[in-house]
Chains A and B, each alone.
Chain A
Amino acid sequence: MQKQSVALVGMLILLALVTLINYFLFSHLGITSITLLYLLVVVTGAYFCELLIASVLAVLAFLAINYFFTEPRFTFEVAHVESWASLVCFLIVSMVIASLVKQLKFQTTESLLASKEAKFARTLAENLALASNIAQLYQDTCRLLQAEFSKPIAIIECDANKTYTIKTASAQIETPDHRLLNWVSDHGKPISPYTDYWVKSSTKNQQWLLPFSRLPSQLPILVVSDVSENEPINTYAAIKSAVDQISQAYERLTSIETAKSAEFRAQEEAIQSALLASISHDMRTPLTSILGAATTLQQPDLSSTEASRLTDLIASQARYLASTTENILSLIRLESTQTQTIAMDWQSPEELIGVVTALYKSRDETLNLIVSIHEPELLIKGNANLLIQALVNLIDNAKQVSAENDSIEIVVSQANERIDISVNDHGSGFDAGFTAENIKKFSSTNAKGFGLGLSIVQAIATMHRANLTIQNRDSGGASVTLSFPAMLVDINHAQ
C-alpha cells in the first residue's frame, strides 16, 4: 500500500513536470505533441502502478489539457465541439492503453515466472536423476530448494520408534514439534496455511511440513522454515510439486539400496559356503601332519636327522595353519563387518608390494618376483592389511602352480580411470570355464585352499569397489587382475 502511495506521488510529480514543460513550450510543441506527452505519462503510470492510479492520471491529464492548452485557456470551458471530441478521445485512448499495458505487464511477469519455475524443475530433475544415494539426494534437495526459495530447508527422518532426526539441513533450523511431525506421518498430509491443519500465528518463523508420501508412512518429511502467514501460494505449490518429484527419486534410490543389500547378503552366503567347503581340508591336513610328526618325535630311538626333519615339518605346517587361520578369520571379519566401518586410506601399490616382498623374505620363502610399476605415484583408496592379504593370496596361488624357478610378475598400470594390479604366473592356467563369478563352486573341488584364497580376494575386491578378473594368458599361465577406480589426489599442499 505504501509502495503504491509513493508511486502515485512520483507520477503526480511527473505529470506536473510535463505540464510545466508543455506550458513553457506550448508555442513550439503544438497541441498534438502535448497530448502525446501526456499519453506517455499515462502509459508510464500504467506500467509501474496499479490500474486505478493510471486511470486517475488519465483523468488529471485530460483536465490539464483542457485547462492549460484548450481554447479558451485557463478555464475548464471548451469553445469548439472538435476540441471536446479530441479531449474525450484522449481520455478513452489513454484509458484503453493503460489497461493494455497493465495486461501486457501481467502476462510478461507470468511468463517470466513460468520460465523460472521450469528452469528450477529441470535443474531439480537433473540433480535427482544424478543422485546415486539417499544422502546425496537429501543434500541436493536442501541446497536447490534453499537457493530457489531463500528459505532454510531440512529433511527429517522418522524411525520405527517415531524418533525424528534431522538428516540434512541447508541452515540451522528448529526441530518441529513432535506432535506436528506425528500428525504428518500418521495422515500423509502436509502442514501449511493452505492445508487442513495449520495453527495461525503472527510470527515469521513458522514451518511448513511436507511428507514424502501421501499415505500414512514413516517416510522422510521436508521442512521449510522461516515462513510467514502470507507466503504466496505459488511458492507453496512449487515446493509441493518439488517434494513430489523428490519422493519419486527417494523411492527409486531406496529400491536400489534394498536390491544392493540383498545382493550383499547373497554374496555373504556364497562366501560362507566357500569357507565351509575349504575349512575342513585346509585345517585337517596340516593338523594331521603336526600330530603325526609330534607323536613320532616321542619315540625314543629316533635319529637326530629324522628328529630335525620332523621339527621342520611341524614348524612349516604350523606356519601354513597360521596363515589358513588368518585367512578364515579374515573372511569371518569381512562378512561381519560393514564396508563403511573398515578404515580406508590412501595406499601406494608400490609400497603394498614392498610389504608383501618383505613378508616373504621374513618367512625365508624364495620368491622370483618381477615387479613392473608404470607410474610410481599412483594411489588407491583402501585398507592396507586387506590389500596386502589379497596380494599375498594371489601370489600364494601363483606359487602353488609355478615351477621352482618360474617367475611371478606383478604389474601395476593405469588406464581408463582405473588402476590395475595384476599377478601373472607361468603355470598351467585356469580350467576352462573358471571365472571370477564361479569361485565358490571351484573352491569346493580344488586342493590346498586355492578357492578359499580367491574367495577372500573377491570379498576384499568388493569392499574396495574393485573388479576381479581371472584369465589365461596367451603366452601361457594365468593372470588375475584387481582393477580399482582411480581417484583424484590433491597433493598441492603437500610440498
Chain B
Amino acid sequence: MLNNALILIIEDDAEISQFLQTSLKASGYLTISATTMMSAKSLLLNHKPALVILDLNLPDGDGRDFISHVRVHSDIPILVLSARQSELEKVACFDLGADDYLAKPFGVNELLARVKVALKRTAMMSLRDDIFKLDDLMIDTVNSSVLLNNTPLHLTPIEFKLLFLLASKPGKVFSHRQLLAEVWGAEYVDDTHYLRIHMGRLRARLEKNTAMPRYILTEAGIGYRLAAS
C-alpha cells in the first residue's frame, strides 16, 4: 500500500524536482509535480495524493500559505524542504501543521526515510492503532500505560501528557509552542525551560543513553518528535 502511494512534489527548481521524482519513482512511489502554488492546489484537489513534498519558496507565494490552505480541510502529511534560512520560518511551518522538514542539501536516503515514516503514520492512524511500539517501548494511549521492557513505567502527569502527545503522531515534529500550549497551557508558550527540564527527566526514564536518545528525538530550535522506526 505504501509503495505505490502518490506523492505531490511542489518545487519550482526543475533539477531538484527531477531528482525528487526519479528517486521516489525508483523506490516504487508514484509522483505528480507542480512548480507553483496555484497548480499544486488544483493537483491536490483532483488527484488526492497521499503525501506532499513542499518547497517553501514558490514563484506565486509563500509555501506556508499553502500549508494553512491544506490544513483547513486535510490531514495529508506535508514534508517541507527548507534551505535552512531561519529557525522562525521552520517553527512557523510546524505551528501551521507541517509534519516534517528536510534541510537542503539532503541525501536521497534521508528523504526516503522521512517519506516512509510519514506514510506509515497516516496508515497507522487510518487503522486507529492506539498502541505505539518501538523496540522496548510500548505506549497504550487508551489504557494510559507505558511499558519499558514489559515493565510499567511510572511517570509524572506532565511526563505522561508529553509522551502521549508525541505518541499521538509518531514521527511528527511538535514545536515547543505546541507542546507547551497543550501540556501547560497557552500562557506558558514561551517558557521553554519547563519543556527542557521535563523532556530531560522523561528521557532519563526512557532512554538507555540520554546523550544518544533512541525514542524522543530533538529537532534543534524547533521541537521534539517520537521516533517512528
Q: Is B193 an interface residue (CB 8 A)?
A: yes
Complex CA distance for A385 and B88, rounded to whole angstroms: 12
Interface of chain B residues 179 through 220 with chain A (CB within 8 A): 184, 188, 191-194, 196-201, 203-204, 209-213, 217-218, 220
Complex CA distance for A383 and B87, rounded to whole angstroms: 10
Kindly list chain B residues whose C-beta atoms are within 8 Å of the C-beta of A306: none
Contact check: which of B110, B196, B220 meets A346 at CB < 8 Å? Answer: B196
Q: Is A353 an interface residue (CB 8 A)?
A: yes
Q: Is B84 an interface residue (CB 8 A)?
A: yes
A347 touches B88 (CB 8 A): no
Among all A-B residue pairs, the 10 with the closest Cβ atoms: A494-B194, A371-B211, A346-B193, A384-B221, A384-B220, A348-B196, A357-B212, A353-B211, A322-B105, A354-B213
CB A271 to nearest CB in B, in angstroms, measures 20
Complex CA distance for A75 and B91, rounded to whole angstroms: 101
Kindly list chain A residues whose C-beta atoms are within 8 Å of the C-beta of B198: 494
Interface secondary structure of A, over-half rule: helix
Kindly list chain A residues whose C-beta atoms are within 8 Å of the C-beta of B201: 377
B200 touches A376 (CB 8 A): yes
Number of interface residues of A (CB under 8 A): 37
B196 touches A354 (CB 8 A): no
B197 touches A350 (CB 8 A): no
Q: Which residues of B approach A to under 8 Å, CB–CB?
A: 84, 87-88, 105, 107, 110, 156, 158, 176, 184, 188, 191-194, 196-201, 203-204, 209-213, 217-218, 220-221
Contact check: which of B88, B110, B197, B218 meets A494 at CB < 8 Å? Answer: B197
CB A376 to nearest CB in B, in angstroms, measures 6
Complex CA distance for A352 and B204, rounded to whole angstroms: 15
Interface of chain A residues 296 through 328 with chain B (CB within 8 A): 315, 318-319, 322, 326
CB B215 to nearest CB in A, in angstroms, measures 11
B212 touches A379 (CB 8 A): no
A385 touches B196 (CB 8 A): no
Kindly list chain A residues whose C-beta atoms are within 8 Å of the C-beta of B217: 358
Kindly list chain B residues whose C-beta atoms are within 8 Å of the C-beta of A199: none
Residue of B nearest to A361 (CB): B212
Q: Is A295 an interface residue (CB 8 A)?
A: no
Given contacts A351-B199, A351-B200, A354-B211, contact A343 B87 (CB under 8 A): yes
Residue of A nearest to B86 (CB): A343
B88 touches A343 (CB 8 A): yes
Interface of chain A residues 57 through 86 with chain B (CB within 8 A): none
Q: Indicate the member of A351, A371, A410 with the most B CB atoms within 10 Å.
A: A351
Q: Apart from A376-B210, A494-B158, what 20 extra A-B contacts exist at CB < 8 Å? A: A322-B105, A345-B221, A348-B197, A348-B199, A350-B200, A350-B211, A355-B218, A357-B212, A358-B217, A361-B212, A362-B110, A371-B212, A377-B200, A379-B196, A379-B197, A383-B87, A384-B87, A489-B197, A490-B193, A494-B184
Kindly list chain A residues whose C-beta atoms are within 8 Å of the C-beta of B193: 346, 379, 489-491, 494
B218 touches A491 (CB 8 A): no
Interface string of A336-372 (1 = CB under 8 A from B): 0000000101111011111101100110000001010
Kindly list chain B residues whose C-beta atoms are within 8 Å of the C-beta of A355: 218, 220
Residue of A nearest to B91 (CB): A343
CB A390 to nearest CB in B, in angstroms, measures 12
A385 touches B221 (CB 8 A): yes
CB A421 to nearest CB in B, in angstroms, measures 12
Kindly list chain B residues whose C-beta atoms are within 8 Å of the C-beta of A318: 105
B221 touches A326 (CB 8 A): no
Q: Is A388 an interface residue (CB 8 A)?
A: yes
CB B115 to nearest CB in A, in angstroms, measures 15
CB B165 to nearest CB in A, in angstroms, measures 16
Complex CA distance for A347 and B196, rounded to whole angstroms: 7
Q: Is A373 an interface residue (CB 8 A)?
A: yes
A352 touches B210 (CB 8 A): no
Q: Is A495 an interface residue (CB 8 A)?
A: yes
Kindly list chain B residues whose C-beta atoms are within 8 Å of the C-beta of A377: 197, 200-201
Given contacts A326-B84, A357-B212, contact A383 B221 (CB under 8 A): yes
Complex CA distance for A337 and B188, rounded to whole angstroms: 28
Complex CA distance for A411 and B158, rounded to whole angstroms: 29
B218 touches A354 (CB 8 A): yes
Contact check: which of A361, A383, A491 meets B197 at CB < 8 Å? Answer: A491
Kindly list chain A residues whose C-beta atoms are within 8 Å of the C-beta of B184: 494
Kindly list chain B residues whose C-beta atoms are within 8 Å of the C-beta of A352: 220
CB B143 to nearest CB in A, in angstroms, measures 25
Kindly list chain B residues whose C-beta atoms are within 8 Å of the C-beta of A493: 188, 191, 194
B210 touches A385 (CB 8 A): no
Q: Indicate the member of A315, A354, A388, A495 with the most B CB atoms within 10 Å.
A: A354
Kindly list chain B residues whose C-beta atoms are within 8 Å of the C-beta of A495: 156, 158
Kindly list chain A residues whose C-beta atoms are within 8 Å of the C-beta of B84: 326
Contact check: which of A315, A322, A373, A385 meets B220 at CB < 8 Å? Answer: A385
What are 26 inter-chain pairs, A to B, with CB distance below 8 A?
A318-B105, A319-B107, A326-B84, A343-B87, A346-B193, A347-B196, A351-B196, A353-B211, A354-B210, A354-B211, A355-B218, A355-B220, A357-B211, A358-B213, A358-B217, A362-B110, A373-B210, A373-B211, A376-B200, A379-B196, A379-B197, A388-B220, A493-B194, A494-B197, A494-B198, A495-B158
